[in-house]
Amino acid sequence: MVYKTPAYFDEMRDPSGVRPAYQGLQGWVDEMPAELRAMKQHEAEALFRRIGITFAVYGEGGDPDRLIPFDMFPRIFAHDEWRRLERGIKQRARALNAFLDDVYGRGEIIRAGRIPGPLVWKNEAFEKAVTGFRPPRGIYSHIVGIDLVRTGPDEFFVLEDNCRTPSGVSYMLENREIMMRMFPQLFRANRIAPVEAYPRLLKRTLASVAPEKCDRDPTVVILTPGHFNSAYYEHSFLADMMGVELVEGADLFVDGDYCWMRTTEGPKRVDVIYRRLDDSFLDPLCFRPDSMLGVPGLMNVYRSGGVTIASAPGAGVADDKAIYTYVPEMVRFYLGEEPLLKNVPTWTCNKADDARYVLENLADLVVKEVHGSGGYGMLVGPKASKDEVELFRDKIRANPSNYIAQPTLALSTCPTFVDEGVAPRHVDLRPYCLVGETIELVPGGLTRVALKDGSLVVNSSQGGGVKDTWVLAE
């Protein structure tokens, strides 16, 4: 099977041949005829459809429950590679939570002049409603999704931090389940660290941050906006795997100092809410008065210590793309350490010199909206038309503080099954770091792959797919 060596760092091959982590796959690839590969791909799609692993793209017609493309060629990390990443991810999660605890409290990092105050206080994700309130253990972001890219054997960069409700963990778990079902011989021949402990660890993390008023085993629920939400499958999947109730706002109510859940046996007190909806919809008495998705009075109970909301309202100020540029400074300020993971060099367009540079080099840069996600509101300069570049030029001039820019990184590639055989495609990685009484993460994460030849955009909403992510056991 012909495999064209890419101009970027190839995670499977280097000039000396197949890299050690991938050597256990060489025979599997060489011995798989095209007919078997097509049959297995069809089997994977049928499994995804039967299980119900789908997603929706807002604002588009067509199938509202489309399959996310799944590539059967796994992405592999050696044990020592993962350990280095794990240390950096945990360090970053600690620093982000220390920042949140600080800016909703004394604001020492701002007093010290290490981060501009207006960048925090005027940020639309900064919630004045929780200023001065400290959640249990001082933890604001309980599930931190760190998006990483690789550019070389030892070069990893953080693209962005997700401190609110990072999605995709159900794909991490289901990708593994499907690969084990279709290719059990691979798991017998390779020592692959398991990921199936994630739901148990997540439940343990959430229970560990129950409020002080909880005097028994905590009752944990997942709060979903409902089945029209694009990530509803994941909400129901995690509730089922954790053995907790999946609820909507109408299933909860406030009475006295507590939040209660309606059940067939009468009201049941809720201690921890893993919310999967935005801050603005949580409580119509505190945020958007027209919200039908939240629970009236919930924020009063939260601020009085009657319930824990995970992640905490206001956590989004830590994953704002303008704040991102200061995360290495957070690591130094709060932890007294040097960052183990690098940021991508970033220009913030609210600075006159940075904006001038970005406008002069727009065709060579990646430009993102400060609050954008899912690959929307984004310009990949080298892949954009002249009209698209000029459109973004006008947008930046009109509202410079809404944009940041980064160089176009040479993202690593991983072998991927395509129509003509096996070809290199660009990938990123989202590990999920759980922050509670302890900080832990399962060995692996969600690998997203840009299935279009040459594309650097891996988001499922933009045509990307997913892979199983292997970490080789020690």
Domain range summary for the chain, segments of one domain joined by +: 13-194+317-339+430-471, 212-306, 345-407
Comparing 212-306 with 345-407, is the CATH topology the same? no
Measure the CA–CA gap between 181 and 175, rounded to whole angstroms: 10
273 beta partners: 221, 309
**Each residue's pLDDT tens digit, 405-457:** 999 888 999 999 988 788 999 999 999 999 999 999 999 999 999 998 888 87
Q: What is the mean pLDDT of residues 145-170?
A: 95
User: What fold is seen in the domain 212-306?
Assistant: Rossmann fold (3.40.50)
Q: What are phi and psi of 98, to 5 degrees?
A: -65, -40
pTM metric for this prediction: 0.92
CB 174 within 8 A of CB 466: no
Encode burial over 129-168: b for 16+ CB neighbours within 10 A, e otherwise. Answer: ebeebebbeebbbbbbbbbbbbbeeeebbbbbbbbbbbbb
CA–CA dist 257, 254 (Å, integer): 8
pLDDT in tens, 167-222: 999 999 999 999 999 999 999 999 999 999 999 999 999 999 999 999 999 999 99
CATH among 3.40.50.300, 3.90.76.10, 3.40.50.1980, 3.30.1490.270 for 345-407: 3.30.1490.270
Return d(Cα 205, Cα 65) in angstroms, integer: 31
Q: Which has the closest alpha carbon to 148: 385, 412, 369?
A: 412
- Residue 406 to residue 348: CA distance in whole angstroms: 9
Say if residue 324's pLDDT is above 70.
yes
Token pair 């249990």 in the structure block, residue: 136
DSSP designation for 149: E
- Indicate the burial class of 415 (C-beta count within 10 angstroms; 0-12, 13-18, 19 or more): buried
DSSP conformation class of 15:
T
Of 231 and 100, the structure prediction assigns the larger pLDDT to 100
